[in-house]
Structure 1
Amino acid sequence: MNSKAAAAPMPDWDLVQAFLAVVEAGSLTRAATQLNTSQPTLSRQIAALEAQTGAALFERTTRGLSLTEAGEALVEPARRMQAAAQALSLAVAGRAQTLAGTVRLTASEMMSAYVLPPVLAQLRTAHPEIEIELVATNRIDNLLAREADIAIRMVRPEQGSLVTRHVADYPLGFYAHADYLAGRPPVTPNTLADHDWVGLDQSPQLIDGFRAAGFAIDRHFFAFRCDNQIVGWEAVRAGLGIGITMQRVAARDPDLVRLLPEFAVPPLPVWLTAHRELRATPRMRIAFDALATALAA
């Protein structure tokens, strides 16, 4: 009989990732959404990991899922495993010297829909061997976790291990369709409440901005509300009311009229970020530099 104890099997990395997602999200539903999978699939993954470890990892409470003692003991080793996998992935990606391959970008919905398509068309024309994946989301994806290779953000990233470049400040403005304005009173600081406005639903961003400018409004100030900014902008273009967007986006529609130019709306900063190791990869460097040039134009 072998006196040495049999080594425990290495946990499946996909199961560990599922476990960490549930830990961070606090529920199967939120974790499944973040992983872009179904709740039953995620439940099976957690059950499989529990079978491998021989212990229950979560218990249900009135507030959702909480870790058991065995689950608590697994969190830090799982995070070390995640960090090692991320470091390995970055090292491999940083040494890929061929241009052929995929560049995964993430940007806001408005940037993805109205600014990036012609920029990416130019990039593809110049380098057809580079494939592009674009994650259009207002959520700030984690470059360190390789959710994206390059991010276009409207806030400066805080992670010190990222290459960060401030490429532009995009002016914003108030706009309405000419059909909406026809026959209505002029739009002035004194007649704001006499007009229909297009705003956000759950997000307080616009309400906070108006209040900071001295206008005490609430959500009912906006006759049309939607947190999807593309839908909101298309509502402005359809004549539902007055909205705010990047001047470079509004300039594409000759039927839109800029309003209240005397209002000093803070510009939208544009930051381009990538992981330092990825800048050593030719296709990543080419994509990063092309984006920086085009977005600054």
Structure 2
Amino acid sequence: MLDQITHLFRLRTILAEGSLRRAAEKLNVTQPALSRSLAQLEARFGQPLVERHARGVVATAFGTRVLAVSNRIERYWEIAEHELTSDQTQFKMRMRIGAGPLWRSGILSPIFVEMQKRHPELIFEVVPLTFGETAKDLAEARLDVAFSGMLSGNPGETGKYNLIRHKLAEISNEIMAREDHPIFNDLDSDALVRPAALLDYPWIVYTEWPIYGEITQHMIYERLGRNADIRMLCQNLLVTLTMLQQSDNLCFLPEFAINSARAPRVVPVPFTLHPRRADVGIVHRKELSDWAPMQTLIDLSQELFSRRNKNV
């Protein structure tokens, strides 16, 4: 088995360098040794892993799959080795955490404060998610865990990539405005905003996730037959919230995006939308289920959202 792992790691270097010669130089092994490793892997799997061309080699489609698995194996070995040697070394390993913009707005801060206390042997690296690439980034070990939607756009992704999901909450998108916005003075007998009033004010479209632009354009037109008066497109959540606090703009946002906006608060506009609710939570690779920091992260997240849900 160890020989196979060595061959897999050599394959990764071959593909990263795009050349057996350069890979041999980097690994300080002979080129014939690399060729034998590649031949043994191809014999083991029964199909070619690389395609040769004039300037070197590139991965076949199957070679790309094998490369992704080797990355996962290496990451799992790094984690296991760190657990086994943490009492003998001061080396700190990183826990790679992907988080969508709403999560990074402050929701996860109390969790990471506690994680630092419980796992001083780790560095917590929090990075933005790439839209549409979360499952792949987890599967190829660029991330260990992600805080995001539950990959509902492609239900087969979790099974395909051997991922585990932990639901934390159910959210919906709402029209948001500052709490003293004049639109709240224009309510009907049911204490709802008149639909036409939505056209009286400028709109911000939060564009870090493309869906919010689609919601803004389609919902207003479908309900009122006219487009919203969009005055600003903004990728940054903090800037979006600040603009809502300081102006008469309206904006579609998920309900838990507004928690950090205070003085004045940003609140939902009472308007009947029949919004579609979506599950959000934690997604990680199955083989990391027994990793102690992962268990801690899941427990703390579930505790936090259990308290939040009770206060809703």
Distance 1:11 1:289 in 2: 38
CA distance in 2, matches of 1:14, 1:132: 27
2:211 to 180, 205, 209: 205
1:83 paired residue number: 68
Q: Which amino acid letter does the alignment assign opposite residue 117 of structure 1? A: S
The alpha-carbon deviation at position 68 of structure 1 amounts to: 8.7
Per-residue CA deviation, residues 173-224 of structure 1 (Å, 9 max, x unaligned), is: 3221246538986653121111111114596523533525723455x63111
| Greater relative contact order (CA < 8 Å, ≥ 6 in sequence) | 1
RMSD over equivalenced CA pairs, Å: 3.9
Structure 1 residue aligned with 2:116, among 98, 101, 124? 124
AA aligned opposite 2:144: D
Match of 2:175 in 1: 174
CA contact (8 A) 2:177 2:251 kept: yes
Deviation sequence 1:224-271 (CA, Å, 0-9, x none): 112334432332233251123333342442523431243332234213
Match of 1:242 among 236, 246, 250: 250
Q: Distance in 1 between matches of 2:17 and 2:275?
A: 43
SS in 2 for 1:263: coil
CA distance in 1, matches of 2:14, 2:182: 57
Among candidates 228, 247, 250, match of residue 236 of structure 2: 228
Q: Which residue of 1 aligns with 2:294?
A: 284
Q: 1:111 aligns to what SS in structure 2?
A: helix
Change (3 A) 1:70 1:152: farther
Q: In structure 1, what is the equivalent of residue 107 of structure 2?
A: 115
Match of 2:80 among 72, 95, 98: 95
The answer (yes or no) to whether the contact 1:93–1:278 under 8 Å persists in 2 is no
- Gaps of at least 5 residues in structure 2 are 1-8, 32-50, 87-91, 188-192, 308-312
User: 1:246 is matched by which residue type in structure 2?
Assistant: P
Asked if structure 2 preserves the Cα contact closer than 8 Å seen for 1:105 and 1:135, the reply is: yes
Distance 1:202 1:282 in 2: 32
- 1:66-81 alignment, distance < 5 Å: 69-70=53-54, 74-76=58-60, 78-79=63-64
**Cα deviations across residues 41-99 of structure 1 (Å, max 9, x unaligned)?**
xxxx9x967x999xxxxxxxxxxxxx995579632275266235224214414635368
Instruction: Give the conservation status (yes or no) of the 8 Å contact 1:201–1:227.
Output: yes
Within 5 Å, give how 1:157-196 maps onto structure 2.
158-160=157-159, 161-178=162-179, 180-181=181-182, 187-196=193-202
Aligned to 2:15: 16
Large movers: runs of 4+ above 4 Å: 10-15, 67-73, 182-187, 201-204
State the match for 1:267 in structure 2.
277
TM-superposed deviation, 1:169: 0.6
Q: C-alpha distance in 1, partners of 2:239/2:95?
A: 27
Which residue identity does 1:174 align to in structure 2?
I
Shift, 1:126, TM fit: 3.7
In structure 2, the CA distance between the partners of 1:191 and 1:121, relative to structure 1 (3 Å rule), is: same
How far apart, CA to CA, are the structure 2 residues paired with 1:134 and 1:247? 22
Post-superposition offset of 1:163: 1.4
Instruction: Count residues with an aligned counterpart.
Output: 248
CA distance in 1, matches of 2:108, 2:165: 19
| Larger deviation, residues 127-136 vs 244-253 | 244-253
TM-score (norm 1): 0.66
Residue identity matched to 1:170: I
Which residue identity does 1:75 align to in structure 2?
A: A
1:204–1:136 CA distance, 2 compared to 1 (3 A):
closer
Change (3 A) 1:72 1:236: farther
Identity among equivalent pairs (%)? 15
Structure 1 unaligned regions, length at least 5: 1-9, 20-44, 54-66
Instruction: Report the residue type matching 2:16 in the other structure.
Output: Q
- Quick one: distance in 2 between partners of 1:236 and 1:95? 47
**8 A contact 1:93–1:281 mirrored in 2:** no
> Which residue type is aligned with residue 164 of structure 1?
R
Task: Give the aligned partner of residue 149 of structure 1.
Answer: 144
Separation in structure 1 between the aligned mates of residue 94 and residue 237 of structure 2, nearest angstrom: 27
Q: Which moved more, 1:132-141 or 1:77-86?
A: 77-86
Partner of 1:197, secondary structure, is: strand
Q: Secondary structure at the match of 1:265?
A: coil
